[in-house]
Each structure stands twice: as structure tokens, then as C-alpha cells.
Homo-oligomer: A and B are copies of this chain.
Amino acid sequence: MHRVRVRIVEDALDANNTIARANRDDFDRAGVTVANLMGAPGAGKTALLERVLRELGDLRPGVLEGDVQGSLDADRLASLHVPVTQLQTAVGFGGECHLDANMVRSALPALPLEDVDLLIVENVGNLVCPAEFRIGEDVRMMVSSVAEGEDKPLKYPLMFRACELVVINKLDLLPYVDFDMERFLHHLDAVHPGVETIQLSARTGEGVEGFRSWLERVPVRAPA
């Protein structure tokens, strides 16, 4: 029974990768770079986007907002006058705990790709399954908050290993939580040696400039 389950999972991931490649081709043709933003519920993904979307150099940003249901985050971001498209996994996708390539493909017709250089896909808040499903993105980023604890890279290694960038958020809470930054970085290095990290506070703005610069450097293949 377990082996059957594992095989089904592997088949599903193969099928997902095929659709992800089709998405990537479509994004490439439109000259859109795509960044998949992941993290636990409440890590501060939306708060971080609120900080940087308004000014991204010459880049025109867009957001594909993934949630199980509702549109709270999309509503927050839409007030920044950035194109935001909502994708709900509860509508037609059985309430899945992650985005997959097929869901993103279903949203393609609704995305104003001609007005966007950098599309940020905010995934469902979850440290497990989003890391398993490519969606056709160029880069994967995650946000981990110091309030979540320093053991998270060891408990959810696939997620920390999947990303090109790990943002360590809520620096302003450091004096009030039991979180040893050196130990966190040590754990992170154990599961993903050399991965880039940026420490910041989306709440106070400290360190946000570094994330903004990182984002601006993402679209090496974006149109001039």
C-alpha cells in the first residue's frame, strides 16, 4: 500500500513537471520572469510584498495570489495598484494545500502578462507540499519568521532546500523570542549549504532594501 502511494505521488509529480515546463515556455514567450514565494502561514509573505511592490526599479510587478479560499491578501495587495490575480485551490481544486502547475496554467488567461515583467506567485501558506510542485517559475524564495523557531530547516528540509533565497523575517521580534540566529543559519547550512539569505523586518522596514535589490536582479531574461 505504501509503495503504491509513493508511485502515485511520483507519477503526479512527473505530470506536474510537464505542465510546469509548458507554463515556463509561455512565460518566457511573454518575457515574464516568475518567482514562487513560499512560507508558513503568518511568516509575513504578504507584508513583505506590500513593502517592495511599489518600487522595483524599472520592473513592472504583478502578483498571482494563491489561497485555499478567500481573497484577503489579494485585496491588501490590490490597494498598491499592482495587477493582482486570485487563485483559490478550494474552487475546482479540492482545497489543495499548495499551488501546482495545472492550477497556475488555469490562471494564465486571467494574467495580464503584457503589463508585467516580474510575476510573483504567493503560494499557499505551508512548509511541506508547495516545495514539491514546480509551477513554471524561474526562482523559488521562501520566508521564515524568527517567531517560528530556529529548528524549522531541520523539520522541513525539502522546503529550505528547494529555494534559491531564504528570507528571515520579523527581525524586530528577536529580543522577545527564543531564537538563536547562528543556530538557525547552522541548521540551514546543514540542509542547503550556501543558499542566499536576507535578514529583515517587513514590519519596520529594516533590511527590506536587500530583498528589493535581490528581486530586481531576478529577471536576467526579462525584456529591456
Q: Point out residues on A near B: beta carbons under 8 Å.
A: 1-2, 5-6, 9, 40-42, 67-70, 72-73, 92-97, 102, 124-129, 132, 145, 147-149, 151-152, 154-158, 170, 172-173, 176-178, 203
Contacts and interface: CB of A to CB of B under 8 A. Distances in A.
Contacts of A132: 95
Contacts of A147: 42, 145, 147, 170, 173
Contacts of A72: 151, 154-155
B42 A97 contact: no
A11 B69 CA distance: 22
- A40, A69, A70, A92: most-surrounded residue (chain B CB, <10 A): A40
A15 to B, nearest CB: 11
Contacts of A42: 40, 145, 147-149, 152
A152 B127 CA distance: 16
Given A41-B155, A156-B41, A203-B178, A128 B68 contact: yes
